[in-house]
Structure 1
């Protein structure tokens, strides 16, 4: 059972079918329209799938705590760990210390997109550190141009793109270990470790003339198409932070996607210090609901380096550093894989997807919207999110 998108689903099914045919196994695919709701209902009704692909590690660990999932054996984890980007094993590890899920494929979020010809013609260059990014922002503005497009409108889910900004900044400014503590609630949003991420974002998003349309426009600008002004003539902005999906249909203009390698140049969202590169990702984690031999073989294949050939051809990234990047359909994605994902010293899954839903899909979305809209200050925003975090049971 899975909730994969239209771009990923065909390749996933092709990879699994090929494995199933070679192993004499029959696999029935079930697509969930609303993964969270449907998987909870099936588990509650005593009718879970054999294998599920979880987009949210937090939900997976909720079910593991209820004894509904089967952990990976140590040998399989050790084998996969040899080739997985550092951090992916931790993403599938729950509170009891056992690994219940490992990734099928991932998307990369730690990216800043540019219009390659316009960016180069203006004399701008890739920022190597977060300080460089602020300097670049000021340089673009000093040239009489608008540095950023920032977009957070997503209908009922408005605000979630800001969580990606904050997560990337926490990962860099506080470090992977503190990122993990923050996701579990061990570090508060308004702590000395986490607050600087919001303050850095504030420098960019709240400074006059930094953002196309101004600060308050951010929550009214669609997250998929909000960066398309990069490609206006003259450009409406020069920088846009968004995940790899924006290079698919429905994101950048079709004419840009058709010439992606020459029209765009995505850079890694820069680290605090050169070489200290971490990467924020989203993806789907394979987990087993029973210990039937074929169930475990299927789950283990999905998480293995042998999986992903057909998915790569459709533009999906394997979490394994040994993946053949030449299978990816264009140079842009190949570069993201080799220079951003596979060079990362640490990878972390989307923090809001791992937090309790009341926070990760609740106040972490809604409170920053109020902040960006001028309804409240930063401390109020952070304190309100902290107040919503479920208290740990003793």
Structure 2
């Protein structure tokens, strides 16, 4: 799945808020006159999200048959201004029936202000059956369940050529140290830099670097420290975060290892993130780190993705062999009304039937354990589903999407750019941490 650009929270909400907000659970804010639970609907359910263009068309196809069978008209609206407009609409008394939230913290913020309804029991039952506890937690606030997971994407893939690996006599690494050894072997064998990287993304330049750091924090320090980091209980200046930067720097800041086909280390910041697809396909570059959506860019560059094809990918390895901790993103479905029609749509969107409808038409992937990976026409997306469905997988939402916008899409992005440009790690970490709101 290609990114609908990085979706960032605009309010200063951290994971601590997700776990600890007190909720009253009545839609439309204090004093509102929302429909009583279970009241009859009017046959129309409005749905609002950031998902646009081709992905939006696929969404509407995914539920079209169900609409007809249930005599409910799902009226879908997308907006790139969702993060700011959803709060304005809720406070103005004009919310949609359902919002599809790209950040759990945004849903939690609106729930804390009494705009979001607790999810129906049938939705929670589906989530208990078909999703991991990690995923359910992102729709839960103060022990009250508000929203089911929707679509998903998986980060942390390292893309490579199976043919080249066979030619060089190397194998997919099982640990982080193995990855470093692999990098050195390729460099010595080819005499060129093994890695290419592009962090360029307009005003969001730097975000691919945050994905690198998040992968290492989760793998090195573990999920508890990762969660504390998101909540600023572990600051950026903590040794655990510095260790992650230093580990990533063994690759990204090493001029012998990057930036194949583009220039020196500093060129990482000026190369658009999608432009690294071409050198991966033509063999100029051996390795790059990017999320599951990258297969679309590789296809556009003329590459065929698959385990026996031109290009394939493996997950960034854990520190010790056998571990499976991954980062990613997705959306959470939350409702502002709880009439019968809205609840019916919520329930359907939490079922394997809907998720299989979505993936079968190429509309994305889901972490729903009832999804059949064989329905997906993309090998890497099928592999992503298998990883997400694995009960031994530890999943964590993209940290920068959970941090306050001033940090996650602000000082963290800028800090990555500064770090690649040569600013010492300690200074970079201090500058990122300075972006945290004082309250």
Q: Tell me if TM exceeds 0.5.
A: yes
1:206-245 aligned within 5 A: 206-212=253-259, 213-232=263-282, 235-245=283-293
Q: Determine the C-alpha separation between the residues in 1 that align with 2:298 and 2:204.
A: 17
* Residues 3-12 or 292-301, more deviating: 3-12
User: Does residue 1:124 correspond to 2:170, yes or no?
Assistant: yes
- Give the CA deviation at 1:278: 1.2
**Structure 1 residues 316 and 85: CA distance shift in structure 2, 3 A:** farther
Contact map agreement 2:305 2:379 (CA 8 A) in 1: no
Q: Determine the C-alpha separation between the residues in 2 that align with 1:77 and 1:391.
A: 35
Q: Paired residues, what number?
A: 386
* Residues 76-85 or 377-386, more deviating: 76-85
Q: Determine the C-alpha separation between the residues in 2 that align with 1:257 and 1:33.
A: 31
Match of 1:324 in 2: 372
- Give the CA deviation at 1:259: 7.8
- Segments of 5+ residues of structure 2 without an aligned counterpart are 1-47
- Give the CA deviation at 1:139: 1.1
2:241 counterpart (194, 219, 224)? 194
Larger Rg over CA atoms: 2
Contact map agreement 1:315 1:329 (CA 8 A) in 2: no
- Give the CA deviation at 1:173: 0.9
Contact map agreement 2:49 2:99 (CA 8 A) in 1: yes
Q: Determine the C-alpha separation between the residues in 2 that align with 1:303 and 1:214.
A: 47
Q: Determine the C-alpha separation between the residues in 1 that align with 2:167 and 2:132.
A: 35
Match of 2:421 in 1: 373
User: Does residue 1:306 correspond to 2:353, yes or no?
Assistant: yes
Match of 1:60 in 2: 107
Match of 2:186 in 1: 140
Match of 2:201 in 1: 154
Say what the alpha-carbon RMSD is for the aligned residues: 2.0
Contact map agreement 2:218 2:226 (CA 8 A) in 1: yes
Contact map agreement 2:58 2:363 (CA 8 A) in 1: no
1:6-85 aligned within 5 A: 6-73=53-120, 76-85=123-132
Secondary structure of the residue that 2:400 maps to in structure 1?
Answer: helix
Cα deviation, 1:62-95, whole Å, max 9, x if unaligned, reads 212211111225664344123214411122233x
Contact map agreement 2:104 2:139 (CA 8 A) in 1: yes
- Give the CA deviation at 1:201: 0.7
* Residues 217-226 or 6-15, more deviating: 6-15
Match of 2:231 in 1: 184
Secondary structure of the residue that 2:374 maps to in structure 1?
Answer: helix
Match of 1:349 in 2: 397
Match of 2:407 in 1: 359
Contact map agreement 1:308 1:318 (CA 8 A) in 2: yes
Contact map agreement 2:305 2:312 (CA 8 A) in 1: no
- Give the CA deviation at 1:285: 1.4
Q: Determine the C-alpha separation between the residues in 2 that align with 1:271 and 1:86.
A: 21
**Structure 1 residues 88 and 259: CA distance shift in structure 2, 3 A:** closer
Cα deviation, 1:218-253, whole Å, max 9, x if unaligned, reads 111111122321122xx22211111111111x5553
* Residues 74-83 or 219-228, more deviating: 74-83
Cα deviation, 1:284-327, whole Å, max 9, x if unaligned, reads 21111122222122123213323222321306212112211111
- Segments of 5+ residues of structure 1 without an aligned counterpart are none
Q: Determine the C-alpha separation between the residues in 2 that align with 1:86 and 1:293.
A: 27
Match of 2:149 in 1: 103
Secondary structure of the residue that 1:13 maps to in structure 2?
Answer: helix
**Structure 1 residues 174 and 162: CA distance shift in structure 2, 3 A:** same
Q: Determine the C-alpha separation between the residues in 1 that align with 2:128 and 2:321.
A: 25
TM-score by length of 1: 0.92
